[in-house]
């Protein structure tokens, strides 16, 4: 039934409605983008106070795999997406029996499992020109022993759970064979991937949007800074990376999306490694089958945001090639910002932040702040990179984020 035109209605008078599994901040921003185009929206999310559920036309408050809830979502909506990769892939498969679903269950399933994800990246490497870090799969004691006996080249490394790891969770750094065995036991002796620890010089990500018809558009790569495994800063401006490296990353991300037959917005994350070359080499790390934290700057610095492209791709509308009109730096606002040095809760000095030139504050409507929780983000735009960096440093100081790398 695609394309699904904005503001349209079916024969029974039901308005064109887009659905999303998940009620977090990514769902909230998708809902806002869809509503700007005139679509009705429906969110399936068990949390009664979810950021997306609170702003949607319909909030189906139930578990992601509840048959009745999925049936209601399919009845309300003409097309459905997801806002996070850990939604049950089976739920997407069920919805796809009667409605267009993007991204599809098979792709989300790959992103949910690091073993399958790395196999896909390896299969793409001949075309994309970018492979992943050396790794080994550990699912049983014999594989652990094989790594200990014959893969000393993977140590020191990082042992990662195959499933449910994000924002630094489900990961243990190991230096020796003994530490590897202990870490595997600590992670429950389940399916894991051991990755060789590389000498990183930078991290970056690329956002790609691909339509049902195979049309592909993308944003320029953004350079990212992580603290304790969680994104802290995104640098989005010309010159944030060597041009040749940026082109390689962009081409590789497009190749990965095409190889998957992907539909929707895809974020591919890369490591820039010190391989002795002038600008370093590029290694693909992981992908997120959805809009991404590192792309939030597009809301304020581009003429089409990642969420606009998500709506266009899902609804079968033409995909505009986004244009960035301003250099930008994005600061993630985690729950720590709401507490002072002694651990006492306090309200951040928003007045001082908003007095700074080019600041755009986005809070997600979450009422409980806690360490590591993504509460919002602050994007700083300006006429040039120098002014943006100056304002970003001042904002970081006001928010109690001293020493944050905004250079």
Write the pLDDT tens digit of every residue in 36-61: 999 999 999 999 999 999 999 999 99
pLDDT at 23: 97
- Do the beta carbons of residue 59 and residue 20 sit within 8 Å? no
Question: Which tens digits make up the pLDDT trace of 7-25?
Answer: 787 767 789 999 999 999 9
For residues 154 and 142, give the distance between their C-alpha atoms in angstroms, rounded to a whole number: 17
pLDDT value at 279 more than 60: no
pLDDT band for position 150 (cuts 50, 70, 90): confident
Beta strands in 131-229 (DSSP E): 135-138, 157-161, 171-174, 192-196, 200-210, 216-218, 222-227
Q: Can you give the CATH number for the domain in which 388 is found?
A: 3.30.470.20
Least confident of 212-226, 344-358, 393-407: 393-407
- Do the beta carbons of residue 306 and residue 291 sit within 8 Å? yes
- Do the beta carbons of residue 41 and residue 35 sit within 8 Å? yes
In a domain, 144, yes or no: yes
Last residue of a domain, one of 174, 196, 218: 196
pLDDT band for position 406 (cuts 50, 70, 90): confident
Mean pLDDT, residues 276-294 taken together: 86
Mean pLDDT, residues 158-162 taken together: 94
pLDDT at 404: 81
Mean pLDDT, residues 217-229 taken together: 94
Q: Is 251 helix (H, G, I), strand (E, B) or coil?
A: helix
For residues 174 and 194, give the distance between their C-alpha atoms in angstroms, rounded to a whole number: 9
- Do the beta carbons of residue 338 and residue 369 sit within 8 Å? yes
**Number of other residues whose CB lies within 10 A of the CB of residue 142:** 9
pLDDT value at 276 more than 90: no
pLDDT at 280: 62
Q: For the chain, how far is it from start to end, CA to CA, in angstroms?
A: 48
- Are 165 and 286 members of one domain? no
- Do the beta carbons of residue 373 and residue 336 sit within 8 Å? no
- Are 381 and 244 members of one domain? yes
- Residue 61 token pair: 């408050």
- Do the beta carbons of residue 323 and residue 302 sit within 8 Å? yes
- Are 47 and 79 members of one domain? yes
DSSP tag of 132 = B
- Are 210 and 168 members of one domain? no
pLDDT band for position 151 (cuts 50, 70, 90): confident
For residues 105 and 87, give the distance between their C-alpha atoms in angstroms, rounded to a whole number: 10
Helix (H) or strand (E) run with residue 79 in it = strand 79-82
Which residues, 6 or more positions from 185, have their beta carbon under 8 angstroms from its beta carbon?
none
Q: How confident is the prediction for the chain on average, in pLDDT?
A: 93
Question: Which tens digits make up the pLDDT trace of 234-260?
Answer: 999 999 999 999 999 999 999 999 999
Q: Can you give the CATH number for the domain in which 153 is found?
A: 3.30.1490.20
- Are 209 and 263 members of one domain? yes
pLDDT value at 278 more than 70: no
pLDDT band for position 1 (cuts 50, 70, 90): low
Q: Is 385 helix (H, G, I), strand (E, B) or coil?
A: helix
In a domain, 266, yes or no: yes
In a domain, 326, yes or no: yes
In a domain, 359, yes or no: yes
List the domain range (segments joined by +) for residue 376. 200-398
Mean pLDDT, residues 373-395 taken together: 97
- Are 280 and 225 members of one domain? yes
In a domain, 110, yes or no: no
- ∠ CA(81), CA(54), CA(3), 5° rounding? 30
Helix (H) or strand (E) run with residue 43 in it = strand 40-44
Q: Name the domain count of the chain.
A: 3
- Are 155 and 232 members of one domain? no
Which residue is associated with the tokens 């894991």? 192
- Cis omega (within 30 of 0) on the bond before 3? yes
Last residue of a domain, one of 46, 80, 101: 101
For strands 79-82 and 58-60, give the pairing: unpaired
Indicate the annotated binding residues. Answer: 114, 160, 165-171, 195-198, 203, 226, 285-286
- Are 209 and 192 members of one domain? no
pLDDT value at 182 more than 80: yes
pLDDT at 7: 79
- Are 355 and 309 members of one domain? yes
Which residues, 6 or more positions from 189, have their beta carbon under 8 angstroms from its beta carbon?
none
Last residue of a domain, one of 55, 86, 101: 101
- Are 301 and 322 members of one domain? yes
> How many distinct helices (H) and strands (E) make up the chain?
12, 17
**Would you tell me the crossing angle of helices 114-128 and 243-260 to the nearest 10 degrees?**
120
pLDDT band for position 167 (cuts 50, 70, 90): low
In a domain, 106, yes or no: no
- Do the beta carbons of residue 203 and residue 272 sit within 8 Å? yes
Share of the chain above pLDDT 70, in %: 97
For residues 160 and 117, give the distance between their C-alpha atoms in angstroms, rounded to a whole number: 13
pTM: 0.94
Which residues, 6 or more positions from 113, have their beta carbon under 8 angstroms from its beta carbon?
162, 163, 191
Which residue is associated with the tokens 């001042």? 394
pLDDT value at 402 more than 80: no
In a domain, 355, yes or no: yes
Q: Is 180 exposed, middle or buried (0-12, 13-18, 19+ CB in 10 A)?
A: buried
pLDDT at 152: 85
In a domain, 190, yes or no: yes
Indicate the annotated binding residues for ATP. Answer: 114, 160, 165-171, 195-198, 203, 226, 285-286
- Residue 159 token pair: 């042992």
pLDDT at 330: 98
Mean pLDDT, residues 158-184 taken together: 86
Q: Can you give the CATH number for the domain in which 22 is found?
A: 3.40.50.20
pLDDT value at 277 more than 90: no
Question: Which tens digits make up the pLDDT trace of 346-378?
Answer: 999 999 999 999 999 999 999 899 989 999 999
Which residue is associated with the tokens 């929780």? 373
- Are 68 and 152 members of one domain? no
pLDDT value at 300 more than 80: yes
- Are 162 and 231 members of one domain? no
For residues 208 and 262, give the distance between their C-alpha atoms in angstroms, rounded to a whole number: 10
pLDDT value at 156 more than 80: yes
């Amino acid at each position: 039934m695609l394309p699904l035109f904005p503001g349209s209605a079916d024969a029974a008078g039901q308005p064109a409605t887009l659905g999303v599994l998940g009620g977090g901040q990514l769902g909230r921003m998708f809902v806002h983008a869809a509503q700007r185009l005139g679509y009705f929206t429906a969110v399936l999310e068990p949390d009664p106070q979810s950021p997306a559920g609170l702003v949607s036309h319909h909030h189906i408050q139930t578990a992601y795999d509840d048959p009745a809830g999925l049936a209601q979502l399919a009845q309300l909506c003409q097309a459905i997406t997801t806002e996070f990769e850990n939604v049950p892939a089976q739920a997407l498969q069920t919805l796809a029996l009667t409605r267009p679903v993007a991204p599809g269950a098979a792709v989300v399933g790959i992103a949910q499992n690091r073993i399958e994800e790395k196999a896909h990246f390896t299969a793409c490497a001949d075309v994309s020109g970018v492979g992943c870090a050396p790794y080994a799969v550990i699912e049983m004691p014999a594989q652990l022993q094989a790594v200990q006996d014959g893969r000393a080249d993977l140590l020191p490394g990082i042992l990662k759970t195959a499933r449910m790891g994000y924002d630094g969770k489900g990961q243990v750094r190991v230096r020796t064979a003994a530490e590897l065995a202990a870490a595997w036991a600590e992670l429950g002796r389940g399916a894991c991937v051991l990755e060789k620890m590389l000498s990183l010089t930078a991290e970056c990500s690329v956002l790609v949007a691909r339509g049902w018809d195979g049309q592909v558009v993308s944003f320029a790569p953004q350079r990212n800074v992580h603290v304790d495994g969680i994104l802290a800063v995104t640098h989005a401006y010309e010159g944030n990376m060597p041009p040749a490296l940026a082109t390689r990353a962009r081409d590789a991300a497009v190749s990965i999306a095409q190889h998957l037959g992907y539909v929707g917005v895809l974020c591919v994350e890369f490591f820039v490694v010190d391989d002795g070359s002038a600008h370093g080499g590029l290694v693909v790390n992981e992908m997120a089958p959805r809009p991404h934290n590192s792309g939030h700057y597009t809301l304020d610095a581009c003429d089409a945001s990642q969420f606009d492209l998500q709506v266009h791709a899902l609804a079968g509308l033409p995909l505009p090639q986004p244009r960035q009109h301003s250099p930008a730096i994005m600061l993630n606002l985690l729950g720590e910002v709401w507490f002072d040095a002694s651990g006492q809760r306090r309200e951040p000095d928003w007045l001082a932040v908003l007095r700074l030139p080019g600041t755009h504050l986005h809070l997600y409507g979450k009422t409980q702040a806690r360490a590591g929780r993504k509460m919002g983000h602050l994007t700083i735009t300006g006429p040039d990179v120098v002014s943006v960096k100056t304002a970003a440093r001042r904002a970081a100081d006001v928010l109690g984020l001293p020493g944050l790398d905004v250079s």
